[in-house]
Amino acid sequence: AVNFVRTATQDTEIGGQRIRKGETVVMWYPAANRDGSVFDDPYRFDIDRDATAQIAFGGHGEHVCLGSHLARLELRAVLKAVGPILPELELVQRPEFTVLHLQAAEIKRLLVRRKDR
């Protein structure tokens, strides 16, 4: 899991949730685009979802990912190549992940095969 962890230095409240001094607070990056208060049916994959509300690649302004344009270009190429046969593929085993550091991880191995026809 990719997350960001901090310990509260004082009692506070965030989004109606009380956090006491000394408690651990975790922000899960993958959860950002699954916020039910922002997106209808947040766990459904929706290729037509309004892109203005999502925060992939760090959002906008000074926090935007410098590699976001290359990543989007690579993603388009992969989807164009794999998209047509995607319904014919199935997982062979659970993906293996490599955690690069506390804030980033990558898929190390993702084994798939074509379903029996």
pLDDT tens track, the chain, 117 positions: 577 889 999 999 988 999 999 999 988 877 777 888 888 888 888 878 776 766 666 666 776 778 888 988 998 999 899 889 989 999 999 998 887 665 666 888 999 999 986
**Do 57 and 69 form a contact (C-beta atoms < 8 A)?**
no
Q: Determine, yes or no, domain membership for 64.
A: yes
Q: Tell me which residue of 114, 62, 69 sits closest to 92, measured CA to CA.
A: 114
Instruction: Collapse the DSSP code of 80 into the 3-class scheme (helix H, G, I; strand E, B; otherwise coil) and give the result.
Output: helix
pLDDT for position 31 = 79
Sequence-distant (6+) residues with CB within 8 A of 107 are 95, 96, 97, 98
Domain residue limits at 29:
3-85
pLDDT for position 24 = 92
Q: How many domains does the chain have?
A: 1
Q: Determine, yes or no, domain membership for 107.
A: no
pLDDT for position 34 = 81
Instruction: Collapse the DSSP code of 94 into the 3-class scheme (helix H, G, I; strand E, B; otherwise coil) and give the result.
Output: coil
Q: Alpha-carbon distance 99 to 71, whole Å?
A: 19
Q: Determine, yes or no, domain membership for 38.
A: yes
